Amino acid sequence: MKISKKVLVIAAMVATVGINIAATSPNEEKKNNLKVLPKDISHDDLEKVMRGFNNALGVRCNFCHAPSAADPKKMDFASDAKPEKEQARDMMRMTLKINKKFFEGKSNSLLDTANAISCKTCHHGNPHPKETLGAPAMPPPPPPAPAQAPTGK
């Protein structure tokens, strides 16, 4: 049985399109609902940013992302159900603003800005910063000394 060149070319094109669709579908799911990061961010750059958050805060994806209603073993990356996700957006906006204003960041992108300030600057691998304004957290002051009764001399 002889297969024509046309059939081979068409089969190769269909296979290529199918592979490209399969390779990009999971990426598109993760790109839904981007409000601070660029909508056209590549999958690799998005993963790099998310891994940076994981490292800087010592957390996993479920710290900000809610589980999927359809399959609780998977994440619903587009969901805004967890308040930590909006907090992360606020922190990204703050970081971008600081870097642009004080460290000559030339862009409004987390990827393009030379991050003089980053999540790790304050978080140091903890979900919540242990320092305030760059100074170590101060221990509480000692309690006041008990008042002494006046002596009748």
Q: How far apart are CA 153 and CA 147, in angstroms?
A: 18
More confident site: 109 or 45:
45
Confidence at residue 69, expressed as pLDDT on a 0 to 100 scale: 93
Decide if pLDDT at 113 tops 70. no
Query: Which residues does 126 contact at the CB level (< 8 Å), separation at least 6?
Result: 57, 58
Burial 103-136 (b: 16+ CB within 10 A, else e): eebeeeebeebebebebeebbeeeeeeeeeeeee
CATH, domain 32-133, list 1.10.10.10, 1.20.120.1200, 1.10.468.10, 2.40.50.100: 1.10.468.10
Confidence of residue 27 (pLDDT cuts 50, 70, 90): very low
Confidence of residue 98 (pLDDT cuts 50, 70, 90): confident
- Name residue 144's amino acid: P
67: three-class secondary structure by DSSP: strand
Q: How far apart are CA 89 and CA 78, in angstroms?
A: 13
Tokens describing residue 55? 């490292």
pTM above 0.85, yes or no: no
Per-residue pLDDT, averaged over 59-66, amounts to 94
142: three-class secondary structure by DSSP: coil
The position carrying tokens 């870097």 is 99
